[in-house]
Structure 1
Amino acid sequence: MVVLAVAEGEHRDGPHADRVAASAVSLTTGRERSALAAVAAGRIWRVFKPEDARQCSVYVDTQAAAASYVYAILSPGGLASPEFAEWADRDSRRYASDLSSSLRKRIHGTAMPKLSEAAARDMRRLDPDASLDTAFQAAVRILFRLLLIAWAEDEGILPYDRNDSYRRKSLTQQALRLANDPKLGAANGRGYSIFEDLKALWAVFDGGSAEMGVPAYNGGLFDNNTAIGQQIARLRLTDSTVASVLRTLLTTDADDDEPPGMADFSGMSVREFGTIYEELLEYRLSEAPQDLTADLTPADDAPGGEAKIAYLAGDPYLHDKSGQRKSTGSYFTKPFAVDHLLAEALHPALEEHLQRVANVLTTEGDAAASEALWDFAVLDPASGSGHFLVAACDMIAEQFSKFQDNNSLAGVADALDRMRSAARTALEGRDPAAEAMITDRDLLARLAARKCLYAVDISEMATELCKVAMWVRTFVPGLPMYSLDHQIVSGNILLGVPSVDEAVDLLDPPKHRKPGQGSLAAEAIRVPLDRANAYETIARRLDESDHDEIEAASAARSDAGRALESARYLFDAALALRLGFLLTDRKGRIPETTDAESIVAMVRLQDETSGSAYAALRELDPHGRRPTHLPLMFPEVYRPDRPAGPGFDCVVGNPPWEKVIVDREAWWGLHIPGVRSDPVARRRARIDAHESSNPDLAEEFEADKQRAERLKKALRRAFPDLGSGHTDLYKAFCWANIAAVRAGGTVGMVLPRSAMSDAGMAKWRRRLFKNAGGGA
């Protein structure tokens, strides 16, 4: 065991002080190869098992005065027996689980129904035709604004304990006032002051306040310039609604031992944000088709005809996909699966990468090695809210930190010094405790998140929460929230061309080229990609440690996007060919086109033509977005001169296990409360009756069926080896992921057992194991 002595209180009283101690412990144990470490801070000892440094936030605290516990933890006998450690670990995990479970029940049972239904009513006050889906998305965003600020105040990221001006306006103080005065909010229930106070607090978090000691974080979740942000800015939620939501989320009830107070968010892990979000994916707002009771059963079905009506016909109400309301659920990747996949896929890729950097240091020197360190790319192609990405960031930061400790790259050290200096300048000496939180490991994590990690998800809200998770995990006091809009994007990699070579071969088939003849399509794609990478290089060399650099990086990436526009049309044409939306002549070429420029012109024209091949591509996406071509989304990863080769070094994640089909009973169950629990005959009769009396919904159902059918056909054309049986999204992702990884890269996926046994996946398994011989 290694024992590290620090000043009393340093490891626990300051915000994130455990991370300061954990960084030192990680370096110490890295040298000593010890299985356990303790931080001794006066009367308090904190014991870690730091073999997995990103779990250093898991520890045992004990007072030295409690000698028996100290002896139980540290004595040879205590360490030799697993019972104590297992008991401590089991009970601490149970406590954390109870906190999380309680919060999620309050969210599902009270907070989200009140918040989303109130948002829908107010939006329809302004616009009778306002979308219920938009209202739900606004409510989700408000919920996560509240959770993030509550967590940030408890963790010390926001200066609740260090700045009187902030404390008076803080969410914690608002919650405590509500806890101590049950009548607050009810007395003026029709007022709007509480919600307006929340808007002011969100503006402080977003734009910063020198008086309150809050730097401008520029968080996308708080941005009022987005479509959802503008809707939230216009909302007027009553004091009674907001007070009820805040009490539910943020306060604890009084009991015999404790007065009412603020719920403890400091024990929440970043993963909990993702868990909550992924459970909320099961919910939607609908209009009550008839009067409903609080448990969402039709009032007419109440025994004896006596029912307390909670929703009148036409009122918005929140329910899950069964048509009922649930209070718990689990829709996220379990931590053990995340840890296992990263250990088996990401860690080997990191080892190979760092060996390559060491070779560069030997042969080309410090400057080249400092730049090569960041030339490492990890993709989660269906990221959800970022479980894998956050854990990957921790692992990369830990390995990079050890490498830097052993090699002292001057270029990397200079970048860390610049960021530390910028943070201290922003804090202006007002917050010494926050300055003490700034560690090299956290600065490295911030850089790794900006330069090495990429994510795509079909849900725009999921990508926003993925960004939040990365910001939270890589938070450095004084530094603004850097832009992640380039690395974390909303889209669908299944609907895109995965490589430059495939795009060229589709546009200019090799069988029609003479031996040694080049391709005009290849040149037409290479030139804009080179220009885009020149701009991307500018962006990557900026630290984004102040707003000027963030704006400069954003401008460079905007220039890169404009440079790629012609290539984007070429890739769209290639995808249209791949999916059979564009016909070719007998020579395999697009009729009436002779070169890449004419292809660009043709597709650009079709961009605005109803019924065109390009329109067909957009119809495949539920939001009408352009296709997601990875080489154009992330050109720096696919540059041909990349030393490791074009493509991602590691692709990791948990793709959706979902059949591409619209089930009639499941679909109508979203619109008819309780119908899925009816006996079969009654269920079908109710659906038939509802379909007949609601032609708009019947039309929507048919549109969803047709969209699913189009997507199924497109996926089978894009991935012709999907095999027989249902078209399942996980099968398509299996093929897409091995197309995204570079030669010799690694892939780690959470898959159903059928991936290894289904006859329809035999070709994929053969491809996978063939590639495994070469390291993929």
Structure 2
Amino acid sequence: MTQDLFPAPWLVNTLLDQGFVNQRQSELAQQPVPYNLTHWLATHFDAVQLAKCKEAQLEDRLIGPLLTQLGWATVNQKSLIVQGKHAKPDWCLLLEPAQANELVDSANHALISAICESKAWGKTLDTGKADRKRNPHHQLQDYLSTLRVRFGVLTNGRIWRLYDTNKVTAKKSFIEFDLAAICALDEGSEQHAALALFAFFFGRHTYVPPAAAGEPTAIEQAIADSADFTLGVEENLKAVIYGYAGEDSLFEIMGRAIQRANPKASMAAVYENSVVLLFRLLFVVYFEDKNHDLLARHPFYQRFSLGRIFGNLRHMPDADAKRHDGVFALKQLFEMLDEGAEDIDIPLFNGGLFDAQRAPLLTQPKIFDNATLRQILEKLLYKTHRGDTLFDTRRDFKNMSVTHLGRIYEGLLEFRFEKAAETAVYLEYESATTKGRAVEAYFDAYDTALIRKEKGFKALREISVRQGDVYLKSASNSRKTSASYYTPTVLSEPLVKAAVDQALQQAAAQGKALMDLKILDNACGSGHFLVEALNYLTDLALDRLDGDAGLQALVKQEGDKIADQLRFLNLDYHPDDAQILKRALLKRCIFGVDLNPFAVELARLSLWMDSFIFGTPLSFIEHHVQHGNALMGASVQDFIAYNATEVQQNDLFVDNLSARFDELRGVMHELDAMRDTTPAEVEQSKRLWATSIAPKLNLLSRALSFICTRRALLAEGNDRDCEALSKTPDLLRDLFDESRTKTAALRQVETYARKYRFFHYEVAFPEAFAGASKGFDVIVGNPPWDKTKFADTDFFPQYHSNYRSLKNTEKAAVQKRLLESAHIRAAYESALAVAEAANEYYKDKTVFPLNKGSGDGNLFRLFVERNLGLLCPGGNLSYVLPSALMFEEGSLGLRRHILSECRLAFFHSFENRRPIFPDVDSRYKFASMQVVNAAPSSSDPPIDTAFYLFEVADLQRPDVHVPYPLATVKALSPEQWALMELRDRRDLPILQKCYGAFPALSAQWLDFRRELHMTDDKDLFIEQPAPGLLPLYEGKMIWQYSHAFDKPQYWLDGAEFNARLHKKELHRMAQDLAMPKAALAAFGRAVRYDREFTRLAFREIARDTDERTLIFSLLPKDCGLGHTLFANAAKTYLPAPDGGVAVEAVSPLRLLFALAWFNSVPADWLGRFMIQIH
């Protein structure tokens, strides 16, 4: 891109953030070059003479002496054997001379600090081939892996590379110095700085451990500091995009300009076009950074590049600020990348990202003047600080992780553009209320006035939004977002590895090839699980390439086509085997789904960025990463079952349904076989999709959407409409007739399909359901953790930031004020209707039978059930999800199915103490889990469990793993089939002894239940005390043996309280007396309420991570209970001798016994194995 990021032609860096390297170089340049290196090289480094040396001569004349000059003790050509593997590196680099003899005598590879592999002058250090015997790059990697040495040096005398193999992947990470070019520099500041940097990375002192045990070496610290530097730059980029921490929102600047140029466009269209523009810019800047050296040699590209556009804007005269030649050049660049320009050897990118029709608002003239476009590009390219551009810190996109960039951009999915209905202020402030913490959000005039009156108020930043202005807004009413549930790489990478390893083990047993694996993430977000799966699959394919004839043929065939394409474009490079493999695997193996259409765009972008080869088009992956609701869909069997049970007719079209799917699968295999290596192949893929696949897909999708439309109508309460749709004459024939599109029934089906985004896996991904092994080999990811039930607390915070923390009366006042605005009321009613219909849809026991009766629905449970049904035999579901799945009562149905019908391979439970998810409560528990779709057998190994983990690295310790036999699960939890949370292996035999020592306490007198719900019954709650009112007890008000731990916040009117519970008491009476409810009318006066008795209660919101987990207390008579307290069933209804109804209370002695036991340390110890966070 711009010259300030790539100042040194003698340096190639894919290991560290270039901004960090520049900073470290400046620091080192202030000091003398160590090791007398400048003088030594001036004396010994004669490039002309050294170029004439053979490899052995070069080692003797330059490489060996230079390593010695850099402080290393060396052992040359030492044969070493580690676990049967042989290695004979050219140089073992040691810290002390005495270690040389020790290494020779003992062959102890732990003495080695680094390895140096040397080649002849001018020999290519990396051929790009997977040949591990002839490619120096792979030779060094193999030595480092065999000898378990982290750092390696690869050199041909002229070029010196340093590798860090702390994390080995197909991505080649190294820092490379051209020593000949450095020595050819004029003696002065640049040569001095270059040699100082060279000495730092290759000199002995950098690798010496500090005196303090456990402290990192200088090289380890530098790598860690670079990662922190990159993180700081990424966090700043996020602040710049969204507009917080003192930054103006780059995205908002785009949206406002696009809206001004398109005043009639909807806010949704402005948002969509802004997202496309941002994605285009991200792709181009990443592409130009990553391919800088290649593009620098290209005779034409630099004339049109984004770097050139910004360079011209940066140095434009003031008079040009209001002109529009910058955006003209940008549009020209996008058009050129979309269509290619063969006359000037620029290939087409295609893929749809740069298609003008994808973002029609961007085609309008004069969208951005030069000043605005410069502002956008400047913020994108350079780090900033509270609005000021730091031109000395250029963002190094080529060394940013694609998954990290996805995390930044995934936050956009929570935002939207709005036109301000009234004047508002975006306020960043501190006050006594915020306890010194900066808070920033949008506030209307009413709330702003209240905030300004807070004690200690201090405004840090204010942005006024006038009525009618376009502004950026999120669901939290703040611009600050962190993609709360974005799974960090430290958690997702090992999960992906475990998932793919298990699938390959199964594939080997079934004779399935690596390239035939099917990997799905159906809540894919930015696609980072898919990117990691693609990377790992590529690593494995590369390792197998030498011995896999099929992969070899693929690489040769694709490599030859790419080479032809590159020759035609006069591009003088050839991609690595790993790049070729990754591109092919992307189109065959990777599948994604997301409900948010922009998440789908982002996932495609992430996959393209990670697999793109300059000179080849972007792969056509629209059919593999799709938009839809992963939970709302139907199967072919659902349709056939409907026809058999409801219609009861042998319809020709239905009978041939399986044949239609077989035909579709055949065409999809043909599409997958195309590699999209050339423009012609991309066009053929698109043509095949448009002419042969889309028409068939649309008909089959329409048929299955009919099933889902019936379910949705019933969920909405429209039974009459559902019946009318089902009785439509000739409906089945019309569903499969391409010419029939205008009937009312078909329009209704298509309307509902769009409304709910029905997604039918067999239609969308037919190639995954072909053959005998139908389904996906791997389903991996992190599903949503949200409840399906609509909650006001999920809606109103977008208009009132602290809504969740308000009292009920304050919430009611805020609701009343906000809902007086017509646009807010319309949005509220729409969100409520959609959420309630979806919730009812998910409750359908024919759709999600394993979630039947599970209380309030939760999306993670629904995803688990849906995905277990999508696995092929032996396939695995590898998920990050709440630990509650294996403990809570609401997951019982799922848990029974997993433990009885599948094999739970591992379950590793974490506490979020560190935290791994920054915006999730630190006490919250989540787990990584793998379920294999295979019936359990007696020969299966125990479940690999681990609990109370704080970091993923804890799993490296063998002592945290607890083998948990399936028989033990059933023995310790025969009713709930729940796992006990074991801290170590010693807990299990103790638990088994405890459970076998005494019989269980009887539920006849020790059953617990709730009374009132804090949301559903809030109309009963009175906020001010008065004579005659009853206190409402909540969990926070009790402690062990104390009912007065805190004061009540709400009170109840006794008569209203009784009226609310009367029907429930009649129901209990009917159960106790085994009488029909109709017969109880005469006994209404015999009702006794639980509040008339002393009760034993425990807090629900208690965790096994608290000081005490079981918190029990006796409660006085005449009080009500909120749902955070469970109280014992205080009495039983019995037949009275006189024919009436009597009541028998639980014995006080029994209550006291239970109180003492449950508050005891042994009971608390047992309870901690079972209790989860609320």
Mapped contact 1:659–1:728 kept (Cα < 8 A): yes
Deviation at 1:97, TM superposition (A): 1.3
Matched, 1:535 2:667: yes
Deviation at 1:489, TM superposition (A): 0.8
- 1:720 pairs with one of 839, 849, 853: 849
Supply the distance in 1 between the matched residues of 2:774 and 2:268 (Cα, whole angstroms). 39
Q: Where does residue 894 of structure 2 map in the other structure? A: 764
Inter-CA distance 686–599: structure 2 relative to 1 (3 Å threshold)? closer
Inter-CA distance 711–424: structure 2 relative to 1 (3 Å threshold)? same
For the residue of structure 2 that corresponds to 1:222, the secondary structure is coil
- 2:492 pairs with one of 325, 338, 341: 338
Which entry has the higher C-alpha Rg, 1 or 2? 2
Q: Map 1:741-760; keep pairs closer than 5 Å.
A: 741-760=871-890
Match for 1:561: what amino acid?
A
Deviation at 1:471, TM superposition (A): 1.4
**Deviation by residue 1:587-609 (Cα, 9 ceiling, x = unmatched):** xx965789964764799679744
**Deviation by residue 1:91-128 (Cα, 9 ceiling, x = unmatched):** 23212212212222222227873543553464355444
Mapped contact 2:419–2:471 kept (Cα < 8 A): yes
Q: Where does residue 376 of structure 2 map in the other structure? A: 245
Match for 1:420: what amino acid?
G
- Of residues 604-613 and 86-95 in structure 1, the stretch that sits farther from structure 2 once superposed is 604-613
Q: Where does residue 104 of structure 1 map in the other structure? A: 238
Supply the distance in 1 between the matched residues of 2:848 and 2:739 (Cα, whole angstroms). 23
Supply the distance in 2 between the matched residues of 1:97 and 1:11 (Cα, whole angstroms). 33
Deviation at 1:631, TM superposition (A): 0.6
Deviation at 1:707, TM superposition (A): 0.9
Q: Map 1:140-219; keep pairs closer than 5 Å.
A: 140-156=275-291, 159-179=294-314, 181=315, 184=316, 187-210=319-342, 213-219=345-351
Inter-CA distance 698–8: structure 2 relative to 1 (3 Å threshold)? farther
For the residue of structure 2 that corresponds to 1:167, the secondary structure is helix
- 2:562 pairs with one of 400, 417, 423: 423
- Of residues 333-342 and 137-146 in structure 1, the stretch that sits farther from structure 2 once superposed is 137-146
Inter-CA distance 578–720: structure 2 relative to 1 (3 Å threshold)? farther
- Of residues 32-41 and 393-402 in structure 1, the stretch that sits farther from structure 2 once superposed is 32-41
Inter-CA distance 599–119: structure 2 relative to 1 (3 Å threshold)? closer
For the residue of structure 2 that corresponds to 1:405, the secondary structure is helix
Match for 1:106: what amino acid?
V
**Deviation by residue 1:573-600 (Cα, 9 ceiling, x = unmatched):** 343456675989xxxx965789964764
For the residue of structure 1 that corresponds to 2:243, the secondary structure is helix
Q: Where does residue 779 of structure 2 map in the other structure? A: 651
Greater RCO structure (CA 8 Å; 6+ sep): 1
Q: Map 1:610-621; keep pairs closer than 5 Å.
A: 612=748, 615-619=751-755, 621=756
Q: Map 1:217-228; keep pairs closer than 5 Å.
A: 217-226=349-358
Deviation at 1:46, TM superposition (A): 1.8
Q: Where does residue 551 of structure 1 map in the other structure? A: 683
Q: Where does residue 135 of structure 1 map in the other structure? A: 270
Mapped contact 2:497–2:536 kept (Cα < 8 A): no
Mapped contact 1:349–1:745 kept (Cα < 8 A): yes
Inter-CA distance 4–572: structure 2 relative to 1 (3 Å threshold)? farther
Mapped contact 2:775–2:871 kept (Cα < 8 A): yes
Q: Where does residue 1163 of structure 2 map in the other structure? A: none
Matched, 1:311 2:465: yes
Supply the distance in 1 between the matched residues of 2:735 and 2:705 (Cα, whole angstroms). 10
**Deviation by residue 1:1-45 (Cα, 9 ceiling, x = unmatched):** 76555688999999x999999986457756974434735133523
Mapped contact 1:178–1:247 kept (Cα < 8 A): no
User: Where is the helix percentage greater, Structure 1 or Structure 2?
Assistant: 1
- 1:573 pairs with one of 701, 706, 709: 706
Deviation at 1:289, TM superposition (A): 3.3
Q: Map 1:463-502; keep pairs closer than 5 Å.
A: 463-497=600-634, 499-502=635-638
- Of residues 669-678 and 5-14 in structure 1, the stretch that sits farther from structure 2 once superposed is 5-14
Q: Which runs of 5+ in 1 are unaligned?
A: 361-371
Inter-CA distance 415–762: structure 2 relative to 1 (3 Å threshold)? same
For the residue of structure 1 that corresponds to 2:656, the secondary structure is helix
Supply the distance in 2 between the matched residues of 1:278 and 1:23 (Cα, whole angstroms). 39
**Deviation by residue 1:261-313 (Cα, 9 ceiling, x = unmatched):** 74322221111231122122232222223333453444574659x99773211
Q: Where does residue 374 of structure 1 map in the other structure? A: 515
Q: Where does residue 35 of structure 1 map in the other structure? A: 148
Supply the distance in 1 between the matched residues of 2:376 and 2:204 (Cα, whole angstroms). 46
For the residue of structure 2 that corresponds to 1:545, the secondary structure is coil
Deviation at 1:169, TM superposition (A): 2.6
For the residue of structure 2 that corresponds to 1:750, the secondary structure is strand
User: Where is the strand percentage greater, Structure 1 or Structure 2?
Assistant: 2
For the residue of structure 2 that corresponds to 1:744, the secondary structure is strand
- 2:818 pairs with one of 690, 707, 714: 690
Q: Where does residue 1169 of structure 2 map in the other structure? A: none
Inter-CA distance 603–421: structure 2 relative to 1 (3 Å threshold)? closer
- Of residues 245-254 and 81-90 in structure 1, the stretch that sits farther from structure 2 once superposed is 81-90
Supply the distance in 1 between the matched residues of 2:129 and 2:285 (Cα, whole angstroms). 18
Matched, 1:441 2:578: yes
Q: Map 1:549-698; keep pairs closer than 5 Å.
A: 549-558=681-690, 559-576=692-709, 581=714, 597=733, 600=736, 608-609=744-745, 612=748, 615-619=751-755, 621=756, 625=757, 627-639=758-770, 641-642=771-772, 645-664=773-792, 666-671=794-799, 684-692=812-820, 694-698=821-825
For the residue of structure 2 that corresponds to 1:451, the secondary structure is helix
Supply the distance in 1 between the matched residues of 2:569 and 2:602 (Cα, whole angstroms). 30
Inter-CA distance 234–66: structure 2 relative to 1 (3 Å threshold)? same
Supply the distance in 2 between the matched residues of 1:676 and 1:23 (Cα, whole angstroms). 60
Mapped contact 2:497–2:533 kept (Cα < 8 A): no
Inter-CA distance 577–282: structure 2 relative to 1 (3 Å threshold)? closer
How much identity, in percent, do the aligned residues show?
22
What's the TM-score once normalised by structure 2's chain length?
Answer: 0.56
Mapped contact 2:133–2:139 kept (Cα < 8 A): no
Supply the distance in 2 between the matched residues of 1:697 and 1:480 (Cα, whole angstroms). 45
For the residue of structure 2 that corresponds to 1:494, the secondary structure is coil
For the residue of structure 2 that corresponds to 1:374, the secondary structure is helix
- Of residues 315-324 and 116-125 in structure 1, the stretch that sits farther from structure 2 once superposed is 116-125
Match for 1:481: what amino acid?
L
Deviation at 1:211, TM superposition (A): 5.4
Match for 1:570: what amino acid?
A
Deviation at 1:192, TM superposition (A): 2.4
- 2:533 pairs with one of 378, 392, 395: 392
Mapped contact 1:456–1:489 kept (Cα < 8 A): yes
- Of residues 2-11 and 660-669 in structure 1, the stretch that sits farther from structure 2 once superposed is 2-11
Match for 2:259: what amino acid?
M
Match for 2:404: what amino acid?
E
**Deviation by residue 1:64-90 (Cα, 9 ceiling, x = unmatched):** 963895546889999x98833753553
- Of residues 414-423 and 315-324 in structure 1, the stretch that sits farther from structure 2 once superposed is 414-423
Supply the distance in 1 between the matched residues of 2:132 and 2:288 (Cα, whole angstroms). 18
Deviation at 1:663, TM superposition (A): 3.5
Matched, 1:462 2:599: yes
Inter-CA distance 90–503: structure 2 relative to 1 (3 Å threshold)? farther
Mapped contact 1:724–1:760 kept (Cα < 8 A): yes
Mapped contact 1:114–1:241 kept (Cα < 8 A): no
Mapped contact 1:26–1:50 kept (Cα < 8 A): no
Match for 1:138: what amino acid?
N
What's the TM-score once normalised by structure 1's chain length?
Answer: 0.82
Match for 1:748: what amino acid?
S
Matched, 1:699 2:838: no
For the residue of structure 2 that corresponds to 1:382, the secondary structure is coil
Q: Where does residue 365 of structure 1 map in the other structure? A: none
Supply the distance in 2 between the matched residues of 1:186 and 1:662 (Cα, whole angstroms). 54
